[in-house]
Amino acid sequence: MERAGRVLRARWAGLAEERGATAIEYALMLALIAMVIVAAVAYLGQSTNDVFANFSFEPAP
In order along its 61 residues, the chain shows pLDDT tens digits of 567 777 667 766 666 566 667 888 899 999 999 999 999 998 888 877 777 777 766 666 6
For the stretch 9-33, what's the b/e string if a residue is b when 16 or more beta carbons lie within 10 angstroms of its beta carbon? eeeeeeeeeeeeeeeeeeeeeeeee
Structural domain includes residue 59: no
Confidence at residue 35, expressed as pLDDT on a 0 to 100 scale: 96
Structural domain includes residue 27: yes
Structural domain includes residue 6: yes
* Assessment of whether the complete model's pTM goes beyond 0.85: no
Q: Which domain holds residue 7?
A: 1-51
Q: Is 42 exposed, middle or buried (0-12, 13-18, 19+ CB in 10 A)?
A: exposed
Domain count, the chain: 1
Helix and strand element counts for the chain (H, E):
1, 0
